[in-house]
Amino acid sequence: MSITLELPPDLEGELAEEAARLKLPLSEYAARVLATGRTAAANTLKTGAELVAYWQREGVVGTRPDITDSQKHARDIRRQA
């Protein structure tokens, strides 16, 4: 099925930037956002394990291979803030 949407330019830009960051085509990223919005409203995550499982299903885990030490990365972010 095809759907054509008229989006405000700023929203289109935000979607395109996020899709590029995730190395996904814009159409695939938009479909994920729409699907996630539907399921997120119906299924509220209650535990950390559920959140991690959700991230794995959505393909978020592993999208930052440049971060080799997550603990150090988190400390660096806190220092910058």
Residue 63: partners with Cβ closer than 8 Å, 6 or more residues away: 22, 23
* Mean pLDDT of all residues belonging to the chain: 87
Does this model's pTM top 0.85? no
Q: Find the mean pLDDT for residues 3-29.
A: 91
Share of the chain above pLDDT 70, in %: 93
Domain ranges of the chain: 9-80
Distance of CA 52 to the CA centre of its chain: 13
